[in-house]
Every structure is written in C-alpha cells, then in structure tokens.
Amino acid sequence: MGNVTVFKSQAGLSVEKNTGDFIAFCRDKLTVFGADLNWHSPVWKGIATFCKLGTGRGAVSNECAMDSDFISFAKSYIRYQQALRPVKSHGAALMALRCLEKALLQVCRNAHIYNTSVLVLDEAMQTARQYYKDNVLYQCGTQLEKLAQFLTTHRFVSCGFFRWCNPAKPDFKNHYLPEKEDPDRKHKLPDERALLAIAEIFSRPDDELSERDLFTTSVFALLMCSPNRISEILALPADCEITRKDKNGVERYGLRFHAVKGYGATIKWVPDVMVPVARKAVSRLRLLSEKARSIAKRAENQTCSAKPETAARSVNEKVMPCLPADFPWFDKEKSVRYSNALCLLNKYQGCEKRETRDVQICRPAYHFFASDIAKMRPSGTVKNIFARHGYTDDEGNPLFLRSHQPRHLLNTLAHQGELSEMEIAKWSGRVSVMQNRAYNHVSQEEMHEKIKELKLGAHGYALPVSIPVITEEPDHGAVHVTPYGYCVHDYLMLPCKKLASALHYGWAGGMNGHEPVKKIRQHLRMAKKAVKDAYFGADKWVAHHEAVLSVLEKM
C-alpha cells in the first residue's frame, strides 16, 4: 500500500498553514494509489472522480471539476483515508465532499475547507436532501459527520472545535405489511414464472444450450443454492466444493465462499434438495472455464520459468502480452488465481457476434451476467436468455430477473421457516443481524396463516399466568419485609434503596404489635451471620436492615 505516515498538525500554526501542510503531505509523501498517480487530474481512473454535485458521469470538463480552492483537499482526504482504512469504493466519501463544497460556495462564497462550520454542514445536509433520500441520505450524513470530526481533530477549521451530528435517520423497513402495500416485495422478490423458466432452461441437456446459456443458468443456480451476492459467485475458486460429515454422520455438501462486506471466508452449506443442482452448476462452470484456466496455468508457469520451451514459445508470445494487468491474481483479497477461477472465460466466449479468442483470458464482469437476465429495452437488439428461449409475460414481453432477487427470496423463505436471526445472518454472510431486516418480505397474509395454524382458540392470546406461592420461610437475610408480605432476594443483589424512604406507608401504628418487625430483626441476625461466613454482599443487607429498624424506632 506504500509508505504510510500519520499526519500531525501543529496547534500553533494557522488553519491555512495546517491545511496547506496536510495537502502537501498527502500529495508528496503518500504513495497510496501508486507513486505515479496524476495528482492534478480531476479523474483518478478506477479510483475517484472529483466533479461537482449533479454534473453527471463521463468526461470531466474544467467547469464540472471541483472548485480550485477545494479539490486539493478533497484529493488529500480520499488518499489519506485510504492509507488509514482501505476501502474498495470511495463513493460515499465523495458524495459528502461534493455536498460540502456546494454548501461552502453558497454560504461563504468560496470553497476553502477551513471555513467549514455548523452552519455550512447544515446547509450541506439540506443540499444532500435535494439529491438523495432514505438510506443514501443517511449514509451521506454519516460521511459528513465523519468529515466534520476529522476537520476539528486536525485543526483545519477557523471557528475552532465544534461537534456536528448526522440529523438523518436510517430508513428501517416495516415488516409484515399487506402484499398490496409493500412495494419492496414485488420489486425485490423474483417473478415465479421467470424462476420456473430459468429452471427449465437449466434442466436441458448441455448440447441443447449455448455457452452463454450454460454460464447464465449455472451462475443463477448457485445464487439459488444459498443467499449469495453475484460478486461472491463470480469469484469462486474451481475447487470450491467441500463435503463433510455432520455430528450424526450424515455427509453434507457445501461451497467455500469469501463473503464481502467484512464477513470473510466461510463455508455455505447447501440444502439437501439443492445439492444435485449445485453439483451440476459447478461441473458446467468448471468445464466452461477449463481452456481459459489452462492458459492461465501455463502463463503462471512461464512467469516462473527462466527458459521457456521452444515448442510453446510461439503460443506464449501471443498469450503473455494479453494477460490482465492484475495477473496472476483473479481476486487477490480472496487468494484466487486466474488458473483456479471457476468463472474464468476466454475473451468473447459466449458472445454470438464475435469469435472466441482462445489465447486470451477474460474475467466475466457483473454486467456480463446481469445483462443476460435483465429487462430488455424496447429497442434493444441483444436478446436476454428468456427472449432466446421464448419465455414471455402476458403482454408478450420477455421475462426478466435481477441478480440480487434470489438472495431476498432465500432470506424470506428462511424467515418463514423460522430460522433464527443469527442463523440467517450467518448463512447469508452478514456481519450484523440488523441487516436481515431489509431482506424479510414475509407478508401480513402469510403471518395470519401461520397464526391460524397454531389453533390458539378464543382465549389463546390471554391465558392466565400462574404465579408460584412461596410457603416456606426464607432461611437467609436477603429479604425485604413489609406489613403486607416479603420479597426474597440474594446477597449478590443490592437492597432496594426506595424501601427505607417509603416506610411510613403501612407502618402508621409504629413497631409494637407488628409481626413483620420481628422478622426484620430475625433476618438482620441471619445477615450478620452471613457476613461472618464471608458471603459476598451480605454486609449491604446488614446495613439495610439496620437502617429500616432505625426508621421504625422513631415512628
């Protein structure tokens, strides 16, 4: 990652000097993103684009680039944060920076970062509300809060120390809504006809399907075997299958995954009913990638060999210049090489209009899979898999699916099957069980059916509670005694502090003739004996009983 050094600001310097030193430090001393990074360009290809809010995508002109007073700090902030806590995407931080830049220009008429204040951050949040909503707005506010803390900690603001908190709240999904009132259910759960269609295509013999059909249906089949993300499927190693006997001696089948978003390496066990589907899908993908993996393996061996064989030299001269820039790592974070990538293909493999290039390897991107199941454009000339096989809806339009819909479906089925939140999160590869909420689409009607199956009867919701009655006298001193009864505790529990202050209720006649008072003295003796026997906490009960008796003696 380069030579990472932590920046140290100096309190005695002005905020302008501190900010300038920070920018120079990040520009000249950090090598994150590479020492040859073009610092002055508004576009860091594959990393970040430093453009104004609402300017769209594509090429960035001088008018669309961030303000000259702001862009250097924005670049420094992204590079510095990447050095401390590496992330794959900087979209959230850039979103906050763009809102802050626009707010500075509106409030201060300039974009100097040291003019940031609570007023400016409030204006930045108002600006964000015009462009984002729901959880995206909350994420933008979180990044603004993080940025505000960074600015005050390093003394980059002229107004001194301040604290600003994100006013937006996360958008929590309401559960068990009626089907007609739940828009997420229709959008995020797959269409049943499309599921049955792609299952029917998958069941056909290999010789009836094209390479594109085999790839698409096999990847989708793996998405249906366990709640996976498409990026996790595309990064599977060729030796991902694993079998192991459980505690009952039954052989189980699973796939080795590396879940994203912080979960890490795991084994996702496949339900028994889906094991044949998973085996078939992995077998087909392994066969599709066999030639490409062979080329990658040969190239790996050649890079390790000082003297390539003469017979293979002509082939290597074609292969080596065309290798990907990150060769030999297909996914270095997951320790998957190109020679062991299950979904590796040759260039243009599965493409109808181009001929496959046998000496070039290609990592299939998300779009390659998603476009083959996605909704077709009215004027689109490229057919998806449903159009190629004649599966249409009632209006004659080709069916379609989304890559994340199987994950939502399997999570909903898991909730219906009453798996615990921890089990669902673990099966899905999530760090937090709180993330399960967004994937639960069980409807109100389905919950009503489950309640009917319980057959609770007319009084099923209000059964009388039987409270056990203690008939034996407690044989220790951790007891609260009142004229109306007593409450049994333990020496480890602290006595009730409110009891002594409320003793005048029920004791108006004084101590004489009250049987409970005798019991208090009895429990005091028990507590003192417990203190001698070294019972932890007994001394607190001795003090409590003495305080109660001292109050009663004055009545």
Q: What is the rounded CA–CA span in Å between residue 151 and residue 73?
A: 11
Does the pLDDT value for residue 462 go beyond 90? Answer: no
DSSP code of residue 455 = -
What pLDDT, in 10s, does the model give residues 142-164?
Answer: 999 999 999 999 989 988 888 99
- Name residues whose C-beta falls within 8 Å of residue 172's C-beta, 6 or more positions apart in sequence: 437
- Name residues whose C-beta falls within 8 Å of residue 264's C-beta, 6 or more positions apart in sequence: 258
Q: What is the rounded CA–CA span in Å between residue 499 and residue 551?
A: 11
Q: Is the peptide bond before 227 cis (omega within 30 degrees of 0)?
A: no
- Name the residue with tokens 């490229």: 382
Q: What is the rounded CA–CA span in Å between residue 328 and residue 338?
A: 6
Distances in whole angstroms, Cα of residue 450 to Cα of each of 422, 438, 461, 500: 22, 21, 15, 50
Q: Are strands 479-482 and 485-488 parallel, antiparallel or unpaired?
A: antiparallel
CB 414 within 8 A of CB 439: no
Domain end (from 153, 174, 202): 153
DSSP code of residue 208 = G
Would 115 be classed as within a structural domain?
A: yes
Q: What is the rounded CA–CA span in Å between residue 234 and residue 366?
A: 8
Q: What is the DSSP string of 258-272?
A: EETTTTEEEEEEPPG
Would 519 be classed as within a structural domain?
A: yes
Domain end (from 153, 182, 201): 153
Range of the domain at 544: 479-553
Q: What is the dihedral sign for C-alpha 261, 267, 271, 273?
A: positive
Amino acid in the structure at residue 326: D
Q: What is the rounded CA–CA span in Å between residue 65 and residue 52?
A: 6
pLDDT category of residue 316 using cuts at 50, 70 and 90: low
Would 383 be classed as within a structural domain?
A: no
Q: What is the rounded CA–CA span in Å between residue 19 and residue 13?
A: 10
For residue 525, the tally of other CB atoms under 10 A from its CB is 12
What pLDDT, in 10s, does the model give residues 336-354?
Answer: 898 999 999 988 888 878 8
In this predicted structure, what is the pLDDT of residue 311?
Answer: 44
- Name residues whose C-beta falls within 8 Å of residue 419's C-beta, 6 or more positions apart in sequence: 427
527 phi and psi, to 5 degrees? -65, -40
Distance of CA 113 to the CA centre of its chain: 31
In this predicted structure, what is the pLDDT of residue 388?
Answer: 92
Say which residue, 377 or 528, is predicted with more confidence: 528
Q: What is the rounded CA–CA span in Å between residue 211 and residue 289?
A: 11
Express as a percent the part of the chain with pLDDT over 90. Answer: 43
Does the pLDDT value for residue 509 go beyond 60? Answer: no
In this predicted structure, what is the pLDDT of residue 549?
Answer: 83
Task: Point out the least confidently predicted range of 94-103, 121-130, 233-242, 433-442.
Answer: 433-442
Mean pLDDT of the chain: 85
Would 526 be classed as within a structural domain?
A: yes
The encoded tokens of residue 468 equal 């056990």
**Region of 264 on the Ramachandran plot (φ > 0 left; ψ -120 to 50 alpha; else beta):** left
What pLDDT, in 10s, does the model give residues 191-203?
Answer: 999 999 999 999 9
Q: What is residue 355's three-state secondary structure?
A: coil
Would 531 be classed as within a structural domain?
A: yes
What pTM was computed for the model?
Answer: 0.67
The encoded tokens of residue 440 equal 């639960």
**Region of 271 on the Ramachandran plot (φ > 0 left; ψ -120 to 50 alpha; else beta):** beta
Would 29 be classed as within a structural domain?
A: yes
Amino acid in the structure at residue 205: P
The encoded tokens of residue 278 equal 């998973």
Would 161 be classed as within a structural domain?
A: no
- Name residues whose C-beta falls within 8 Å of residue 176's C-beta, 6 or more positions apart in sequence: 442, 443, 444, 447
**Most confident stretch, 74-78, 173-177, 320-324:** 74-78
The encoded tokens of residue 120 equal 């400016």
The encoded tokens of residue 160 equal 């001194």
Amino acid in the structure at residue 343: C
Q: Are strands 241-245 and 251-259 parallel, antiparallel or unpaired?
A: antiparallel
Structural domain count, the chain:
2
Domain end (from 153, 176, 197): 153
Q: What is residue 482's three-state secondary structure?
A: strand
Would 46 be classed as within a structural domain?
A: yes
CB 288 within 8 A of CB 345: yes
5 phi and psi, to 5 degrees? -125, 135
Amino acid in the structure at residue 167: P
Distances in whole angstroms, Cα of residue 464 to Cα of each of 132, 459, 460, 467, 548: 51, 9, 10, 9, 36
pLDDT category of residue 183 using cuts at 50, 70 and 90: confident
Q: What is the rounded CA–CA span in Å between residue 302 and residue 544?
A: 83
**Region of 336 on the Ramachandran plot (φ > 0 left; ψ -120 to 50 alpha; else beta):** beta
- Name the residue with tokens 């004996």: 529
Q: What is the dihedral sign for C-alpha 370, 373, 377, 380?
A: positive
**Most confident stretch, 52-66, 422-436, 493-507:** 422-436
Burial pattern 302-325, b for ≥16 Cβ within 10 A else e, equals beeeeebeeeeeebbeebeeebee
Distances in whole angstroms, Cα of residue 345 to Cα of each of 207, 218, 349, 453: 19, 14, 6, 50
In this predicted structure, what is the pLDDT of residue 428?
Answer: 87
Number of residues assigned to the chain: 555
